[in-house]
Amino acid sequence: RPFVNYYGLNFILYELSTPFLNIHWWLDKVGMTGSTTQLVNGIALITSFGGSRLVWGSYQNFRMYKDIWRAIRTPGELPVPTWLAMGYLLSTTALTFLNFYWFGKMIQAVAKRFERPSDGGGEEKKKR
């Protein structure tokens, strides 16, 4: 029996951020870390990741949770095995939490690349 096939295509949209991630990695490898190109790509990466995985993905998860809950609560024979429904719910929830965690890490990493270096002893210069 088909189960949550409708959501397969919706969740493929998570990958909208992947080209920007690959470009970001490539810019590091060719020595363009901290460049304007990497800054623009980093903004596109964070925007596409946040939009596709956090906003769109959370919305689609909510819709899928509703559909699975409706299937579990339907009287009569359960249209899907309980273990399958629970497996989808648990794994999707875990992956959503990971997406939020990775998003925070991405913001930290991009911000770190564009930090201005410290003058290397500002406190000691003030004491003199």
Distance CA 9, CA 18 (A): 16
Query: Residue 122: what pLDDT?
Result: 52
pLDDT band at 116 (very low <50, low <70, confident <90, very high): confident
pLDDT at 8 over 90: no
Q: pLDDT tens digit string along 38-82?
A: 889 989 999 999 999 999 999 999 998 998 888 777 777 767 778
pTM of the complete model: 0.75
Instruction: Give the pLDDT score at 40.
Output: 92
Q: Which of 18-27, 89-98, 104-113 has the lowest mean pLDDT?
A: 104-113
Q: Which helix (H) or strand (E) element contains residue 61?
A: helix 57-73
CA angle 10, 14, 17 (to 5 degrees): 145
> Residues near 57 by Cβ (< 8 Å), separated by ≥ 6?
11, 13, 14, 96, 99
